Chains A and B, each alone.
Chain A
Amino acid sequence: MVTYIVRRLVTAVLILLGASFVVYQLTALSGDPLEELRASNAPNRDQLIQARTELLDLNTPAPLRYFGWLAGAAKCLIPFAATCDLGSSIQGEAVTTALLRAMGNTITLVTTATVLAIIIGISLGIITALRQYSGLDYGVTFMSFLFFSLPIFWLAVLLKEFGAIGFNNFLADPEIPASTILVVALASGFIWALFASRSWKRKAVAFVLGAVVAAALLFILELADWFTNPGLGPIVILVTGVGIAFGIVLLTAGLRNRKALSSSLIMVALGLVAYYVVNPILNAATIWMVLAFAALTVVVGLAVGYVLGGYDRGQSMRAAALTGLLMGFLIVVDRFMVTWPSYFNNPRVRGRPIATVGAETPGLDGTFWVNGLDTFTHLLLPTLALLLASLASYSRYSRASMLEIMNMDYIRTARAKGLSERTVVVRHAFRNALIPLATLVAFDIGALIGGAIITEQVFAFAGMGQLFVQALQRTDPDPIMGFFLVAGMLALVFNLVADIVYSFLDPRVRVKA
């Protein structure tokens, strides 16, 4: 294995060298860095041209210039020497600092979208595979093809128009017309009916229930003026928490496992107590405090599961820890919602919270909660656009993979043994269906950093994609090479990771040593 990894890494370095040479030449060919100066009317035009020619070393032919860049980049390999020199942009900013800043922005943008796309996409894929050729399957298939076919820049403009401007107008005067309530209610009823299982009677019941609940919910929310003063409150948290506990136990252990159920319910009760105890402390929250609480919750959950667990402790521990985490999430969400009015009325925000461009409101200086809301409102639309665009591949792949698994002999064996449907699906089928997806996920993570060029452009998000596109428009070689180095390296490394992970997950696939 070690020989294999070393050999792959050596190859990767050679590939990177070759590709970087090609990229440098392409960059040099892609335009004229002096173009804007040649067209300018500045009196010192000739000096400017000469200065830039010297800065970019344009009198040296591009193939030779490459080695100059390579010599600087090679210094990055010396550990802890801080001699890394990737050159600087035409404006004079060092590429290393620009890259770090852009990378941070891109990671905040794409992480949520990717994680959500993976979770939602895989769940949808599994559910549609289990209900193959049902209305739900056709509906989801059509929707995923539709989202897959939407150009992301078009989707982004639509989101800006209706998601941001329309929703902001609504928030300025939160009054829901009866027609909207009707449409939302019908849509929600339709979705619930799709998810309901195959008999028409059940579908009808689900439709009516879904429609009525949605309409009532909207009506109550409007009456309570929820959209100006949102919040969950202890009762909603308790009810949702109990629902979460049942759901998690149903999926991970089965409702027959009373010990898992009671440990999850204990976590809900503890969460409710924590809601009152922790809330005052949260006034001075930082991101580390929240993370520390999350870790604490997991530990407590594991402990509760361990104490109650009995014969199969693992299941109870897992269920309790997960329930605890989600309870914590609810408390944090409630806290964010309570902060909403103060964010909404902040003079910098001026009552138009959902932003269409940028990563943060300039000059906004608030608490952890206000700044968190600010990040949320800025990331909402780009995340949604990325999510919708990448959802399709995950749901299609996991559906295909699950269908293949469900036809396997060992699934038939599992049923023949008399295992419950939940055990067959979750333990035997689901886990194996995830194996081919591991490769896809690894590839996607590798492509993340350089991947969101269009989205960043539309939402004016100063990330890696924008760094690259702007440098390309100016024919500025050093930032382009910096971008390529990071993106290419990550792609190669995660390519390797994908192969290794696959051979770990599926023992039939062995890498050649």
Chain B
Amino acid sequence: MSAQTPADLPGTGTATAGPAHPVREHEPRGLSQGQIVRRKFFDNTAAVVSLVMFALVFLLAFTSVGFAGIPGWWKYNHTEFLPLIDGGAPTITGPFSWGDHPFGQDSIGRDYFAMTMRGTQNSIIIMFIIGALAGLVGVVVGACSGYFRGWPEAVLMRFTDIIIIIPVVLAAATLGEAVNRFVGPGAQIWLLGLFLGLVLWTGLARLVRGEFLTLREREFVDAAKIAGASNARIIFKHILPNAVGVIIVNTTLLMSSAILLETALSYIGFGVKAPDVSLGLIISQNQEAFQTRPWLFWFPGLFIVLICLCINFIGDGLRDAFDPRQKKFNAARVKDVGEPAAA
């Protein structure tokens, strides 16, 4: 990708500089697309802050209560029944004085911090599965239908239309029954992510198809064809890198809506089910207690909002970073008479 431009070669800066060309101190260096995107992304404060926040939440959730059999550093887990202390009120008073039950206890004595962390873990796992799976299926379906046109496009797009109008809740409910019948509750969240991923790729497929439809008419694709490149090579080496911005941005946004979808499904009882916990599920179990135990409601909700907000800001930062047309349009400057509008 990053072919060496003359500016990269040592000495070219002075060698080409004749008397007509004044010697420049810093010869402008060519940047690859990846470098431009990275630079733009890390210039975006909101996106970077969100990335850091998300990383912290991720670490907190996965190290505190442990993951996949590896024990965490927190002393309780989400299934132990402990004696209720002080009505289960939260003991957190500051960032470094957590007390015994920082987020309090639920009405039957389970440690709410452990439950919230477990729910956050589940939400993040489901989010990544959905993102990966929906991204993969969406890209493959969209790429094939956009590149090959003709009957593959007709078949794949009609199939997409069928999937789009099937209610997601129904798919999730069917899955819940399948989990009860065929596999244990341990695999529940993985299956839920799998199933939701298999119905949520439709929007991405349409977008990718649109990208491919325009990109396949471009000259570089013709050039590759004349050079004898195979279809697979054209799709993966020539077109896909040009569509990668749209794909990454929309997968990110899909992931943020996936979190909300998962919590909402668990809330109405078709997502993650007890004994496992999900942020939506524990809110639904405890919403009646808002008057007496508001913390049971606040903490899981805050974590949903935090994750979702971070992902959204990251997605927005990626969108800005990938958008080559983005100019800094400034209405105030354009309005000033003295300045040329075409700055």
A93 at the interface (CB under 8 A from B): no
Of the candidates A149, A152, A412, A421, the one whose C-beta lies within 8 Å of that of B335 is A421
Which residues of B lie under 8 Å from residue A19 when comparing CB positions? 161-162, 165-166
- A131 CA / B333 CA spacing, docked (Å): 11
In this assembly, does B17 line the interface, its C-beta being within 8 Å of a C-beta of chain A? no
A145 and B316 contacting across the interface, CB-CB below 8 Å: yes
Residue of B167, B176, B263, B269 with most partner-chain A CB within 10 A: B167
Residue of A nearest to B331 (CB): A130
Asked whether B270 is an interface residue with its Cβ less than 8 Å from the other chain, the reply is: yes
Contacts A19-B162, A145-B309, A149-B312 known; A469 to B267 CB distance under 8 Å? no
Of residues 26 through 81 on chain A, the ones whose CB sits less than 8 Å from some CB of chain B are 26-27, 29-32
Cβ contact of B165, chosen from A146, A157, A487, cutoff 8 A: A487
Residue of B nearest to A19 (CB): B162
Most buried by A among B178, B284, B287: B287
Inter-chain contacts of A26 with B (CB < 8 A):
166, 170-171, 174
- Which residues of the other chain, B, contact A146 by a CB distance below 8 angstroms? 305, 309
In the complex, chain B residues whose CB is within 8 Å of the CB of A274:
none
Nearest CB on B from A473, distance (A): 7
B41 in the interface (beta carbon within 8 A): no
Beta-carbon contact of A403 and B329 below 8 Å: yes
In the complex, which residue of chain B has the Cβ closest to the Cβ of A416? B341
B24 to chain A, nearest CB (A): 30
A167 sits at the interface (CB 8 A): no
Chain A neighbourhood of B280, CB < 8 A: 151, 153
0/1 interface trace, chain B 278-317, chain A, CB 8 Å (1 if under): 0010011001001000000100010011001100110010
CA distance A26 to B330 in the complex (A): 53
Decide yes or no: A157 and B312 within 8 Å by CB, A450-B167, A469-B268, A491-B164 being known contacts: no
Query: B327 on the interface (CB 8 Å rule)?
Result: yes
CA distance A26 to B342 in the complex (A): 58
Q: Find the residue from B267, B280, B331 having the highest chain A CB count within 10 A.
A: B331
Q: Does B332 contact A (CB under 8 A)?
A: yes
Interface size class, chain A: 35 or more
Contact call A29/B283, Cβ cutoff below 8 A: no
B334 within 8 A of A: yes
CA distance A169 to B78 in the complex (A): 37
Q: Is the interface of A mostly helix, strand, loop or mixed?
A: helix
A412 partner residues in chain B, CB cutoff 8 A: 341-342
Q: Does A11 have its Cβ within 8 Å of any Cβ on chain B?
A: yes
| Neighbouring A residues of B284 by C-beta, 8 Å | 153
- Residues 250-273 of chain B, each 1 if its beta carbon lies under 8 Å from chain A, else 0: 000000100010011001111000
Minimum CB–CB distance for A51 against chain B, Å: 23
| CB atoms of A472 and B270 under 8 A apart | yes
The reply to whether the CB of A15 lies closer than 8 angstroms to some CB of chain B is yes
The answer to whether B169 touches A472, judged by C-beta atoms less than 8 angstroms apart, is yes
Which residues of chain A are near B173, meaning CB under 8 Å?
A: 30-31, 472
- Are A15 and B256 in contact, CB atoms less than 8 angstroms apart? no
Chain A proximity of B334: nearest CB distance (Å): 7
Contacts of A349 in B (CB 8 A): none
Complex Cα distance, B310 from A145, in Å, reads 9
* Cβ of A422 to closest chain B Cβ, rounded Å: 12
A14 CB, nearest partner CB in chain B, Å: 7
Cβ-based interface call for B158 (8 A): yes
Give Cα A313 to B23, complex, Å: 65
B177 part of interface (Cβ distance < 8 Å)? yes
- Contact partners of A492 in chain B: CB under 8 A: 161, 165
Contacts A151-B280, A151-B301, A152-B264 given; does A15 touch B331 at CB 8 Å = no
Instruction: Tell me if A22 is interfacial: C-beta within 8 Å of chain B.
Output: yes
Cβ contact within 8 Å between B267 and A454: yes
Q: Please tell me if the beta carbons of B290 and A454 are within 8 angstroms of each other in the complex.
A: no
Contact in complex: B166, A487 (CB < 8 Å): no
Residue of A nearest to B300 (CB): A154
- Asked whether, in the complex, the Cβ of A133 is within 8 Å of the Cβ of B330, the reply is yes
Q: A27-B170, A157-B297, A487-B167 are in contact. Are A15 and B268 (CB under 8 A)?
A: no
The reply to whether B167 and A407 form a contact with Cβ atoms under 8 Å apart is no
Cβ of A23 under 8 Å from chain B: yes
Residues of chain B within 8 A of A22, CB atoms compared: 162, 166
Q: Which of A23, A150, A468 contacts B166 (CB 8 A)?
A: A23
A457 CB-CB contact with B under 8 Å? yes
> Which residues of the partner chain A approach B330 to less than 8 Å between Cβ atoms?
132-133
Within the complex, which residue of A148, A198, A457 is in contact with B312, where a contact is CB–CB below 8 Å? A148
| A9-26 Cβ-contact flags toward B at 8 Å (1 or 0) | 001001110110011001
Q: Chain B residues near A145 (CB, 8 Å)?
A: 309, 312-313, 316
Chain B proximity of A425: nearest CB distance (Å): 9
Contact A407 B267 (CB under 8 A): no
CA distance A198 to B333 in the complex (A): 12
The yes or no answer to A415 lying at the interface (CB within 8 A) is yes
Which of B161, B264, B304, B328 is A15 in contact with, Cβ under 8 Å? B161
Within 8 A of B (CB), among A431-446: none
- 7 pairs of residues in contact across A and B, judged by CB atoms under 8 Å: A11-B161, A151-B267, A151-B301, A151-B304, A153-B267, A407-B327, A469-B268
Can you add 16 more A-B contacts, CB < 8 Å, to A26-B174, A473-B269?
A19-B161, A27-B170, A131-B331, A133-B330, A148-B256, A149-B308, A151-B301, A154-B297, A154-B304, A407-B329, A454-B264, A454-B267, A454-B268, A472-B169, A484-B170, A491-B165
Q: Which residues of B pack against A, CB within 8 Å?
A: 158, 161-162, 164-167, 169-171, 173-174, 176-178, 256, 260, 263-264, 267-270, 280, 283-284, 287, 290, 297, 301, 304-305, 308-309, 312-313, 316, 325, 327-332, 334-335, 341-342
5 A-B pairs with least C-beta separation: A149-B308, A488-B165, A30-B174, A154-B301, A149-B309
